[in-house]
Structure 1
C-alpha cells in the first residue's frame, strides 16, 4: 500500500555535539525484499518452518530484517531479555532447545564461554566475519538474493514465536505464541487505540516495534539503551520526536517518569502508551500536562501471556486517582473486546477446568482471569507452570477455550471497570487477613519525601508480618528517616488496608526488572526485610 514509506529508522553514528545521525533506514519495499532474501538464505542453512531460533541482536535494521525473515520462513524466533541473571538466561536458552542461534559477535562469545544453547546446530553472526559461527548474516542475505518472495504456508495454530517473560517473579517462562495470537494482537491494538496507517512511532521497547510495520507505521528506534529506560536521556528522545515528527510513543512507566521530570512539551504527540507496571499518578499528571489537549495517553493492562487485556485513558485514570490513593487499587479500565475478564477466588493450586472455579461477584478481590483471542495456551517446556496458569473452559456447543490466570489480584467495580491490586504472589497473608500491594503502597507514596514504597511479608503465610520498605526521594538526607517514619505511621492510621502495618524499613534503592525498570523486585526485598 505504501512501498516508498520509511518502515523504520535506527540511530547509527554520531554527528556534531554527539547527536545521533539516524543514518540507517528501510522503506517498506526494502524491508520486504531484504527479509525475503534473508528468509531464502536461512532456508539454505536449514532454518525453515518450525525451526526454533534464538535471536540476540540489538535493535537495529538487522533485528527487524531477521524477525520478519523468520516469520516469513515460518521459523520460530526465541527472544530472551539478555540482561537477566546469567544462570537464568542459560536455563531459558536450554529450555528453548533451539536449533539455530543468530546473534551479534558478543552473543556468540557468551554462547561459547557460558554454554548457551548447546542444541543450536545453525549459528549465524551479524558480524563482518563468521567468527564462532557458520556464516554471517550478509552471506545469508546474498545467498537468497535471487529467490523472490517468501511466505511459508503457516497455519493459525502453528507456533510463531517463543517470547520469554521478564522474570520479575522468578525464572522467565517461554510463552508460546501461535500465528493466530499475533494476528489477533495486531487487530486488537489497532481497534483499541484507533491506530491508522501513516503515523510515526517511537517504540522504546524494541519487540513492540515489530507491530509498527503490521500497523502501517514508521518506527523510529530511539537513541537509548532499551534495557535501562529509567536512564534514558530525555534530550535524545526529544531530538528524535522533533526531527521526525513522531506522533506516537510507547514506553514503560520508568521512561514516562524521565520525560515527565524533563518537563518539556511534546506538541507533536497524539498517542502515548505506557505498559509494564502501573504508572504513578504524578507521572500520569505530568505527562498529561506536556501533551496537546487532543492527545491520548493510554495505560493498557496485560502480560506477555495475554496482551492487551484492558485499557484506560489518562483522563479517566486521573479521575480515579483519589480512590487509588485511599487504597482502592489502580483502575486499569475496561476489557478490550472480545476479551472476557472474570474474577475468581484466590488459589495457589492448579484449576484444570472452569467447573472447579469459584467466580466472584463485582467488588470482591480475587484472581484476574482472561479468555480471548490473544490468551496464549502454554509455556514451552514448563508443564507445571502451564497447569498453574491455564484453565480449560467448555463452551456451549462443545467447543473449548483456554482461560489464562493473570497471576494478579483485583476486582471489577459496579461500572464494569477492572481494578488491579497487585501480584498474587506478592500478597501478604497476615493472621487478620490478606494485604495487597496496590491497595497499601499508594497511601504511603503520597509522602513528599518518599520516592516509592513496597509492601512485603516476613514469616509463614497466614501469620506473616507486614513490612513496608521505603525508598526516599532523591536528595532527602538519611538523618530525616526518624521523622519520615513517624509521619508514615500517622499516614497509615485510619486506612482499612494500612492500619496494621507497624514495621517500616528504609532501603537505599529498590531492585527492579530489567525489561521495564518499573516492576519492583519484592521477592528480593522480602529476603532483605527478613534479614533486617
Structure 2
C-alpha cells in the first residue's frame, strides 16, 4: 500500500479533470487551473526533475512563493520519493542559513530572489549539486523549469512510498527557541489529510482560502479548490484585509485556515465595513485565540458558520480542537477567571496526558509521573499525526520524545491540565 499523498492528486484529477482546482491572484485579476492541468503540470515537473538528475531520496530545498509552481512542484517531488525541505523565510536570514546547513539539501529549486540569496550565502548551500529556477525570469547556472516543462510528458510513473518513508522536513517557527527541522513521513501527511477530511468535514465541493501555504496541498488532495490569498504568509499581521476579503467573496470560499493575527485584522475590517462573509468554517491556529476574537469572527460569518481553533505544533498537528460556540458558552468565562485557555478535546485516536514537569530527558514512560485531572503539568501526546524525530538533532530528540513500548510520546513544551470534561 502506498501512502504517498501525491496519489490523491492523480485520483482527484481522474475524477474531476475539468473542475477548477487552484486560483491564484495576478496583475490582471487571477489565474485558474483545473485538477487535470495541475496533475499534468506536476507530471511535467517530475519528468524534468528526473531528467535533470534528481532521484529518490534527494533532499530538495523548495523556495517558491505560494503559486501553481509551489503546489505542482511539491506534488511532483512527493511522486518522485524525494524529501521536500520547507522553511519559513520570515524566521530571519541567520536562522534560515543555520536551518539550511543542518538539513544538507542536495537539490535547490527556487525563484530568482532565492537564487540570489543562495549566491550571496553560498557556504550554507555547499551540499547542493543541482539548481533549478522556478517561475519566470533567468538565472545563471540554473535551468528554467518552466521552459523545460513545456516539452515534458504529462505522465509520470510514481514511486511506491511507504508509511514511514520520509516525505518532508518542515521547520518550527523558532518562536520558542532555535528552529528545528521536523521529519514528516508520508504516513504523517496521510493521517493529517484524514483528520482534515473527516473531523472538519471538508469535501470536494468546498473552496479553501489557505493562509498557510502547506494547507493548499491538503485542499488539492481533498479535491477542494484552493484560492491563494494575495498576502505574505510570513507576515500574517500585515495582511491587506480588503484583498483578503475580496478573494473570499469573488470565489465563494467556504472555509479558511489562518492565524489569529490574520482574522484579528480581517474581522475588524469586516465589522467596520459591515461585511458578512459566506464562509462556513474558519480555522484559527498558530497562536492563542481569545474569546473576544472568536466572538468578533463569528459576527462576520453568516448564520450557521462555525469557528474552530485546532491546537498542536509543527511536530504534531492537529491533536486537539474546540468550536467557537463552546468557547463562548463554556470555557471563555473560565479563562477570564484565570483558569487558562481551553484548547479542546483530543481528536479521535489521539491520546493526551499531563506529566509531572521535568527539565531533563525522560527516556521511557516508566520514568514519567502522570498527573490527575485538574493538576497542572507538561502536556504530552501520542497519535498518528505525531512526528517521530527532528532531523540531525539527537539532543532535541532526547528531550522531546518518550519511548512507550513500540510507540512513543511527544513532549509539547506547553503546560496545561485536563478538566473534568476531558478537555
Same fold per superposition (TM over 0.5): yes
CA contact (8 A) 2:231 2:240 kept: yes
Aligned match of 1:446: none
Report the Cα distance in structure 1 between the residues aligned to 2:389 and 2:232, rounded to whole angstroms: 31
Distance in 1, matches of 2:389 and 2:70, equals 26
Match of 1:371 in 2: 382
Q: Hey, what's the Cα distance between the residues in 2 that align with 1:401 and 1:293? A: 43
Paired residues of 1:124 and 1:130 also in contact (CA < 8 A): no
Number of equivalences = 404
Corresponding position of 2:394: 383
Cα separation, 1, equivalents of 2:278 and 2:291: 23
Corresponding residue number in structure 1 for 2:334: 323
TM alignment of 1:183-262, pairs within 5 A:
183-262=190-269
1:277 is the counterpart of 2:283: no
Match of 2:323 among 313, 319, 322: 313
Larger radius of gyration: 1
Q: CA deviation at 1:289?
A: 1.1
Among 18, 23, 26, the alignment partner of 1:9 is: 23
The answer to whether the 8 A contact 1:5-1:28 is kept is yes
CA–CA separation in structure 2 for the residues paired with 1:380 and 1:236 = 37
CA–CA distance in 1 between the matches of 2:344 and 2:376? 16
**Tell me, what secondary structure is at the counterpart of 2:91?**
coil
CA contact (8 A) 1:108 1:132 kept: no
Q: Determine if contact 1:375/1:402 at 8 Å carries over to the other structure.
A: no
1:79-108 C-alpha deviation (Å, 9 max, x unpaired): 011121211111100011000010011111
* SS in structure 1 at match of 2:342: strand
1-structure distance, mates of 2:17, 2:127: 39
* Structure 2 unaligned residues grouped into runs of 5+: 1-14
Aligned partner of residue 380 in structure 1, secondary structure: coil
- Between 367-376 and 107-116, the greater mean CA deviation after superposition: 107-116
Give the C-alpha shift of residue 128 in structure 1: 4.3
Task: Answer yes or no: is 1:84 the counterpart of 2:91.
Answer: yes
d(CA) in 1 for partners of 2:408 and 2:148? 39
The equivalent residue for 1:352 is 363
What's the CA shift for 1:139?
3.5
* CA drift at 1:127: 4.8
Q: Distance in 1 between matches of 2:135 and 2:225?
A: 26
Partners of 2:209 and 2:226 within 8 A in 1: yes
Which residue in 2 is equivalent to 1:156?
A: 163
- Return the structure number with greater relative CO, CA threshold 8 A, min gap 6: 2
* 1:80-479 correspondence to structure 2 within 5 Å: 80-115=87-122, 116-128=124-136, 130-142=138-150, 145-146=152-153, 148-262=155-269, 263=271, 264-319=274-329, 320-394=331-405, 400-417=406-423
TM-score for the superposition, normalised by structure 1 = 0.74
Cα distance in structure 1, aligned partners of 2:73 and 2:39? 11
Q: State the partner residue of 1:457.
A: none
Aligned partners of 1:194 and 1:8: how far apart in 2? 20
What secondary structure is seen at the aligned counterpart in 1 of 2:69?
A: helix
Residues 164-188 of structure 1: per-residue CA shift (max 9 Å, x gap): 0111012210000000000000001
- The equivalent residue for 2:74 is 67
Q: TM-score, normalised to structure 2's length?
A: 0.93
> For the Cα contact (< 8 Å) 2:267–2:297, is it kept in 1?
yes
